[in-house]
Each structure stands twice: as structure tokens, then as C-alpha cells.
Structure 1
Amino acid sequence: MNAFDFKLPDMSCGHCVTTITETLNALDPQVRLSFKRDTRELQVQTALPREPLVAALTEAGYPPA
């Protein structure tokens, strides 16, 4: 299991969290996510490498800083 931290400047509300959750669940149904909306941070635990996560987040409109 890999753990990655992302800073997502465009994540600001519950809708953002839902979209990000659905996007990453589509890549890895076993993904575990921990959101800190106030600091716009996301921790991801997944079997996937970092690159497809960055690509999916960017495509969904939440490019990591």
C-alpha cells in the first residue's frame, strides 16, 4: 500500500470532496482517502503509483500543487 499527500488548491467544498472521491474510487475501489478541507490537503492510500492519481485529479479539475 502506498501513501501519498496532495495539496489541492481548488478543493473547497463538499462537492469537491465527492468528485475527488468518485474519481479515485474509479481507479482503485480499495482506495482510502483522508481529507483536510480547511488546508486543502488530501492523503491517499492505494496500491497505485502516484502518476495515475495526479492525472485523474488533474482531469477532474483538481490539479495537485
Structure 2
Amino acid sequence: MVTTTYQVQGMTCGHCVSAVSAEVGAIPGVNDVQVDLASGQVTVTSEDALDTASVRAAVDEAGYDLVDA
């Protein structure tokens, strides 16, 4: 298992959390998604390391921006 934390910009409410959780959770190999609305951090647990482009695309699909590390 690999756990990675990403910074997401633009989330302001529970709907935002749900949208990001659903999109990121749909990436193959993802087991768990935890979103901290206050900090904008999204912690993803997956079978293997995820391609950042896949995470960025999922966050973008949800309507938010992945902040570059």
C-alpha cells in the first residue's frame, strides 16, 4: 500500500469533498480517499504509486485544481 497526500485548491464545501472523493476514488488501484476540507489536503491510499497526471485529471474532472508540489 502507498499513501500519498495532494494539495487541492478551490474546495469550499461538503459537495466539493464528495466530488473530489468520487473522482479520485474511481482511479484504478485506489483503495481509500480522505479529504480535509479545511487544509485542502487529499490523502489517497492505493495499491501502487499513482501517476500524478491521473490524479490531476480526476481532480480537474471534479472541478478543482491540483497544486504542484
| Shorter-chain TM-score tier | 0.7 to 0.9
Higher strand share: 2
Which SS does the other structure have where 2:34 is aligned?
A: strand
Give the percent of matched residue pairs that are identical in Structure 1 and Structure 2: 23
Alignment gaps of 5+ in structure 1 = none
Q: Does 1:41 align with 2:41?
A: yes
Q: Matched residue pairs, number?
A: 65
CA contact (8 A) 1:24 1:31 kept: no
TM-score by length of 1: 0.77
Whichever structure has more helix as a proportion of its residues is 1
Can you list the C-alpha shifts for 1:2-51, whole angstroms capped at 9, x where unaligned? 22111112111100111111112222375212221111111111125133
Unaligned runs of 5+ in 2: none
Structure 1 residue aligned with 2:26: 26
Q: Give the TM-score of the pair, scaled to structure 2.
A: 0.73
Q: Determine the structure 1 residue equivalent to 2:58.
A: 56
In 1: Cα distance, 2:4 partner to 2:53 partner:
11
